[in-house]
Structure 1
């Protein structure tokens, strides 16, 4: 299959979910069960996903060799939306030396003694690498917004914690991402859009299957009571930070196979636009290499 034909097919699974201008964004306009008309035989999806992961592996090698761009993939979702599985499947062919995954848990005391972006900035990918944030600095305007007692633990001066603190943090994040893109960091943000019914099914599966018990946490179920609060917070996040240079993808997450296809397609599409190539060797280097080759061939 020709490269352009694959790109044309890929666009069908990225454009409906890409948000590059969040001003009029409404989360309820996106269906968590959408599959763009693909049926459950998954044949087309499986083929495209395989081609996408193979293509991404080739592009990653050039990204690493060129050493100019870096790629930051941000994953946000409600519990059981499939972040871990999506990362595992989509990045299956990637060379581990060129990829870094960070999962951000509860902040440490040291983290709390710094600004809210500090611990995330430390983990940004260097040039030539792919960085994956499994949850990210967006937690500071999601879980911290839903549970404001967490904000109190951050020990900010009281006069700085006003009614506009969430708008201010969202502005800070938008400016931060604008800065990063001007330093050669390509940012793709994925919200895995799961329905509450599907989350319930996945929680029950974790309870009913012993090999899945380790994934279950009672605290995850408690968070279900805050579902409307989280949906509102996610909507505000995307409205404030979806831009052309750092778009959000509101990925349907009720069907894992389709989630993985959309994520892979979005990454392939973005990397392809970089027009990556291997570094070219100049005439002086070629001459040096020819001499080295002659010496090697001439060894006894």
Structure 2
């Protein structure tokens, strides 16, 4: 079992990694990934669920646009999980999630996910430690169900952004016309809860680790996109998929 202490993990790319080289590698990876996604769709034996988690302004939207936006839209779906609606809150916390899991041959991206129900709910005291442990068990059973019974490859990414970079990105939403639609004054208050979020994220990493989480340095978007695309590529190649032949 891997143990992650977020305050000890770098949010930047290693100094030996050069930006332009990395961006060129990402372009090549995405081209190969596009072909593998087509193969995934044709073979229809596996599905892929990508979970993106992170603090506000960690770059989830950018990753979706610049990684998954390069793939065939027929085979990729994206779903964002915000505050539960009245109907969703009347069901168990996984009810709204299960209906969006990927079918065989497809790839589904969760922008935030079922983990919000053991993160933000704990930060604001709406979920006790006892209930969180119960939910961890439910999440593990849910993810095992997908992996074992539907051949779903689950990739869980935590986008790790520093406090300084987060503040810069939140401030940019006040001045950049293209990003003003994202501005929410509450995000600055939410950012003050970083230590609590770290604590509860680390709890998720510890108790829901099959599959394990990938901690992605997210201060530099070009490196974040490289790590995400490379991880997905390696997982898809490991499936050793083949195009169906005539029967």
Alignment TM class, shorter chain as reference: over 0.9
TM-score, scaled to structure 2 = 0.95
Report the Cα offset of residue 36 of structure 1: 5.9
1:95 aligns with 2:72: yes
Q: How many residues align?
A: 246
CA distance in structure 2 between the aligned counterparts of 1:209 and 1:199, rounded to whole angstroms = 15
Q: Is the CA contact 1:191–1:251 (under 8 Å) kept in the aligned structure 2? A: yes
Structure 2: which 5+ residue stretches go unaligned? none
Which residues in structure 2 correspond to 1:31-70 (within 5 Å)? Answer: 31-35=10-14, 37-39=16-18, 42-70=19-47
Q: Which residue number in structure 2 is paired with residue 128 of structure 1? A: 105
Q: Is the CA contact 1:35–1:252 (under 8 Å) kept in the aligned structure 2? A: no
1:177 aligns with 2:154: no
CA distance in structure 2 between the aligned counterparts of 1:139 and 1:36, rounded to whole angstroms = 33
The one-character-per-residue Cα deviations of 1:125-162 (angstroms, maximum 9, x if unpaired) are 1110000000000000011111124x5xxxxxxxxxx6
Greater radius of gyration (CA): 1
* CA-atom RMSD in angstroms: 1.4
Structure 1 pair 214–163 and aligned structure 2 pair: CA distance change class (3 A):
closer
Q: Is the CA contact 2:56–2:191 (under 8 Å) kept in the aligned structure 1? A: no
3-state SS of 2:33 partner? helix
The correspondence for 1:241, drawn from 208, 213, 218, is 208
CA distance in structure 1 between the aligned counterparts of 2:133 and 2:170, rounded to whole angstroms = 33
1:220 aligns with 2:197: no
3-state SS of 1:181 partner? helix
Point out the more displaced range, 211-220 or 270-279: 211-220
CA distance in structure 1 between the aligned counterparts of 2:85 and 2:179, rounded to whole angstroms = 28
Q: Which residue number in structure 1 is paired with residue 231 of structure 2? A: 266
